[in-house]
Amino acid sequence: MEHKWNREQRTLISELIQGMELAKQLRVHLGAASSVESGDLLVQRILSSYEKALLILKLSGPMGQPQQNVGATSGVSESPLSINCSPRSDDLDKDNQDIRDVSKKRKMLPRWTDQVRVSSESMLEGLHDDRYSWRKYGQKDILGAKYPRSYYRCTYRNTQNCWATKQVQRSDEDPTIFDVTYRGTHTCAHGNQAVRQPASPEKQEYKSNNLNNNNNQQLQSQDILLNFRKGLKVNTEGLDNKEMAPSFSFPSTTSFGCLKSENNSFSPSGVLDNNNVFGNFSSPFMSPDTPELNYFSVSPSQTNNFGGFFNAQHSESDLTELISANTSATNSPIMDLDFSLDQVELDPNIQFDTPGFFS
DNA sequence: AACATTTGACCGTC
DNA sequence: GACGGTCAAATGTT
């Protein structure tokens, strides 16, 4: 690419490279400290994530999202967190097309999937609840799927013009797995604060349990999770008939506004925040066992947000909500890149910290 | 009464 | 025309 990278992209790349360097340093330290192969493997995979993220940036080129904002309207620009969302001056006459453009807009919204595994135990913990307030607006039987798909929108769509939606689809293969597809970023007042929220370690572990059980690092994380969960009380509110029935519904009511538990601080440091961001979309490469995921998905094996999360002080009720905290689009402006990562073949040995990368 | 959910109808896309 | 996504009236819940 010979084009100019904009400042945000340079910053992003710089952060990625810095993270990669830090991971390398960590590997050196781990190597010096006795036999911790799992740690070394973890670092290797972290590095791989960074490299692939950088490659994605490289492939998408300056401005990152050439497919976005094509056509008469710039649908994603309504998200204050969308990268490169500067208003287009030639969109001034779009008012009379708003209604017709709604579907276009929605189609252009960032979209990604998460997977939630709900065991009989975790059902009791309100696992499936995330930190936003959702209102169910539809349910559909999907062709070829055993279970119906449920549609949710932000409770504050009308009051705050927040167009975030999500779809929940129970997996055919494993009924304890729910694919949650998020679409659009939360633009409601509380939703914007979700920038710092981590991907849910709970979800990550569930997916890890189910789909990627080949790494010690994951087992370690599971131990952490299990210990953590022992401290939780059962959230009986999460156990309603709807969840047991084929037409599963996520409870959506919250008393905290759009974003739940706004008093929680997830990350004690910005470093963790950055890790959150990167962790959220590195997974398609690192979770080869999830071929069905066509967009960004949260990988438990790659997302390590435990630090800030578990260090924070929470009440029990907070924890049962936080444990299912979702990966908000607001975490990652790059979620605007709605493309299939499966199509990208990557060489794990590619070096991005070469001088010419920014050229 | 206010809000959430259910569900059949409608609409856009392929 | 089939399908997925959304709407909106009816119904349920608090």
What's the pLDDT at A328? Answer: 36
Inter-residue contact A75 to A106 (CB < 8 Å): yes
What's the pLDDT at A13? Answer: 65
Q: For strand B, is any atom closer than 7 Å to the CB of A62?
A: no
- Closest nucleotide to A153: CA versus each C1': C6
What's the pLDDT at A135? Answer: 92
Q: For strand B, is any atom closer than 7 Å to the CB of A348?
A: no
Alpha-carbon gap, residue A91 to A85, rounded angstroms:
13
Q: For strand B, is any atom closer than 7 Å to the CB of A257?
A: no
- Closest nucleotide to A253: CA versus each C1': B4
Alpha-carbon gap, residue A166 to A154, rounded angstroms:
8
**In angstroms, how far is B13 C1' from A222 CA?**
43
What's the pLDDT at A197? Answer: 35
**In angstroms, how far is C7 C1' from A177 CA?**
29
| Amino acid of residue A102 | V
Residues in A 70-109 whose C-beta is less than 7 A from nucleic strand C are: 102-103, 106
Look at the alpha carbons of A168, A106, A262, A200 in this order and tell me if their dihedral is positive or negative. positive
Alpha-carbon gap, residue A215 to A149, rounded angstroms:
32
Q: What residue ranges do the domains of chain A occupy?
A: 1-59, 111-183
**In angstroms, how far is B5 C1' from A139 CA?**
10
What's the pLDDT at A159? Answer: 83
**In angstroms, how far is C2 C1' from A71 CA?**
27
- Closest nucleotide to A103: CA versus each C1': B12
Whole-Å CA distances, A331 to A68, A124, A185, A220: 18, 28, 9, 25
The CATH label, of 2.60.40.10, 3.40.50.970, 3.50.30.10, 2.20.25.80, for the domain at A111-183 is 2.20.25.80
pTM over cut 0.85: no
What's the pLDDT at A148? Answer: 92
Alpha-carbon gap, residue A26 to A218, rounded angstroms:
18
Inter-residue contact A243 to A236 (CB < 8 Å): no
Q: For strand B, is any atom closer than 7 Å to the CB of A136?
A: yes
What's the pLDDT at A141? Answer: 92
**In angstroms, how far is B12 C1' from A45 CA?**
42
Q: For strand C, is any atom closer than 7 Å to the CB of A239?
A: no
What's the pLDDT at A329? Answer: 36
Measured to protein CB atoms, the chain B nucleotides within 7 Å are 3-9, 12-13
Q: For strand B, is any atom closer than 7 Å to the CB of A157?
A: no
Buried b (16+ CB within 10 A) or exposed e, A37-56: eebeebbebbbbbbbbbbbb
At a CB cut-off of 8 Å and minimum separation 6, what does A11 contact?
Answer: none
- Closest nucleotide to A245: CA versus each C1': B6
User: What are the per-10-residue average pLDDT scores of chain A (359 residues)?
Assistant: 54 65 68 55 65 61 41 34 36 42 64 66 47 89 91 88 87 84 79 41 34 36 36 35 41 43 36 36 34 36 34 35 35 39 40 45
